[in-house]
Amino acid sequence: MEALAEALAPLLDKPFAIFGHSMGALAGFELARQLRGQSGIRPVRFFVSADRAPQIPPRDRPIHALSEDDFLAELRRLKGIPGIVLEDAELMQLMLPIVRADVAAYETYVYATESPLDCPISAFGGLQDRRVNRADLEAWREQTSASFSLRMFPGDHFFLNATQPLILQLLSQELRGDG
């Protein structure tokens, strides 16, 4: 995050927001913390989607160290990678080390207590998401000293696929300040 924050800092001379879905929510959270500590820069709003708040310990068994066959089976079960991609053996050989590293970083994350962010947080979740529930999303409220909102949508962990136009409209409204 230090290198990412350093690379982004010169581009953040205008108001910006951070959006993170699933594992990306945790990455966005740590980026916001890194920017705050490194240069005092903060987003105007942080959007989190389909991930538990960072202070909540993981409930799922780790999968990053599974054998290749078992790891691929878990990726299929989670539906996080399109089937057409999973079935392309050559592409998966290129992607698998990257995906495994991302999953390992997420699964081995250790939360460190710091003061809350001073930007508003908006959380989004899927009503049928079996991995992240309303309470997991509500807990993001503890990570901000500013306003917090939570919206739930029909769908599972990847509710964004079916609600993209509505989500984009909400993001726009909240960034304009009328959401």
Residue 22: active-site member: yes
Expressed in angstroms, the distance from the first to the final Cα of the chain is 30
Residue-level pLDDT at 12: 92
Q: What is the pLDDT of residues 29-88, one digit of tens each?
A: 999 999 999 989 999 999 999 999 999 998 889 999 999 999 999 988 888 788 888 889
Q: Active-site residue among 22, 67, 145, 172?
A: 22
Q: Which amino acid is at 50?
A: A
Rounded CA separation 66/74 (Å): 9
Is 17's pLDDT higher than 60? yes
Q: How many CA atoms lie within 13 A of 175 on its CB side?
A: 14
Is 2's pLDDT higher than 60? yes
Q: Within the chain, which residue ranges are assigned CATH 3.40.50.1820? A: 2-57+114-176
CATH number of 2-57+114-176: 3.40.50.1820
Is 179's pLDDT higher than 60? no
Q: What is the pLDDT of residues 157-174, one digit of tens each?
A: 999 989 999 999 999 999
Q: What is the 3-state secondary structure (H, E, C) of 78-111?
A: HCCCCHHHHCCHHHHHHHHHHHHHHHHHHHCCCC
Contact 16, 45 (CB under 8 A): no
Residue-level pLDDT at 147: 96
* β-pair partners for 117: 144
50: closest CA among 145, 147, 120, 155?
Answer: 155
Residue-level pLDDT at 178: 62
Collapsed DSSP state (helix, strand, coil) of residue 66 = coil
Residue-level pLDDT at 29: 98
Residue-level pLDDT at 56: 96
Residue indicated by tokens 């939570």: 150
**Angle at CA 94, nearest 5°, toward 102 and 64?**
30
Q: What is the pLDDT of residues 131-154, one digit of tens each?
A: 999 999 999 999 999 999 999 999
22: closest CA among 126, 96, 100?
Answer: 126
Q: What is the pLDDT of residues 91-130, one digit of tens each?
A: 999 999 999 999 999 999 999 999 999 999 999 999 999 9
